[in-house]
Amino acid sequence: MAATPVGMNRFYAILAGVAVLGLGVLGYLLAKPATVSIPAHVTVQASDTAGFHGYFKGSESAPVEITEFADYQCPFCQTFATLQMPTIEQRLIDTGRLRWRYRDFPLQQHAFSRVAAHSAACADEQGKYWAQHQRIYEGQAEWAAARDAAGILRRYAKENGLDLTRYDSCMAAGKYAGRIQASYEEGVRLGVTSTPTLLVGGRLYQGRFDSDAITRLVDSLAPHATQ
């Protein structure tokens, strides 16, 4: 028996609805950034480090320079970055007494540390390194416990006003994997074994630090700077 016009109209309406839903799902999947994985142990090329020596805060003429080797997924590094660094910046960096150099030292046991470091590096090429750096540390408890940290880090990039098309391209290409590896290898050569580790005047300091300890250290190295 032939279908009634009403029944056929209902059938075509359902079919159209399914088609629209399918197109919506397909569009979402195509627009959704692919899962990001930053390779470790890559061969470092000369271009990876050309003209790059780390991420800096403070004046080049500051009498003391401290290099921090840190891991974005390290809890002690997170505490230092969020609780101690603001005071260090106010007391020492902003006053011209200290220049701070940050180097990535992603630990093998931390699954997302290289992805986080790469997210910050991709933000750097848009002039937003320190904003992304701080947001990553502030959100460590969120992304470190996620099944896939990349999407959360991308949200931070959006919050910081990055061009997401450029950011996604940078992340997908693993553009700074060699830079991160070079930073890690520098730390290994110097004897870094844990994070955070500070390099000051050729000497390594490992463990937990606070702003008062850093201030005393700077005072001991450049006492005339306090006059």
- CATH code: domain of residue 154: 3.40.30.10
Instruction: Give residue 16's pLDDT.
Output: 53
Domain that holds residue 89: 46-226
Whether residue 13 lies inside any domain: the answer is no
Q: Is the pLDDT of residue 205 over 90?
A: yes
Is residue 7 assigned to a domain?
no
pLDDT of residue 15: 52
**Is 36 a residue whose pLDDT tops 70?**
yes
Mean pLDDT of 44-53: 93
Nearest by Cα to 218 from 125, 61, 71, 98: 98
State the total domains in the chain: 1
Q: Which helix (H) or strand (E) holds 197?
A: strand 197-200
Choice among 35-44, 81-90, 120-129 with the minimum mean pLDDT:
35-44
Say what the alpha-carbon torsion angle 82, 84, 87, 92 is, to the nearest 10 degrees: -120
* 145 pLDDT higher than 80: yes
Cα separation, 43 vs 18, in Å, equals 49
Residue 113 lies in a domain: yes
Confidence of residue 207 (pLDDT cuts 50, 70, 90): confident
Residue 178 in any domain: the answer is yes
110-116: average pLDDT? 97
Average pLDDT, the chain: 88
pLDDT-based confidence at residue 91 (cuts at 50, 70, 90): very high
Residue 116 placed within a domain: yes
- Residue 5 domain flag: no
Q: What is the pLDDT of residue 8?
A: 58
Taking the C-alpha atoms of residue 120 and residue 142, their distance in angstroms, rounded to an integer, is: 16
Whether 167 maps to a domain, the answer reads yes
Q: Is the pLDDT of residue 34 over 80?
A: no
Q: What is the mean pLDDT of residues 139-144?
A: 98
Give the separation between CA 124 and CA 39, rounded to whole angstroms: 19
Helix 113-124 vs helix 164-173: crossing angle, to nearest 10 = 130
Average pLDDT over residues 3-22: 53
User: Is position 212 within any domain?
Assistant: yes
| Predicted local confidence at residue 35, as pLDDT | 72
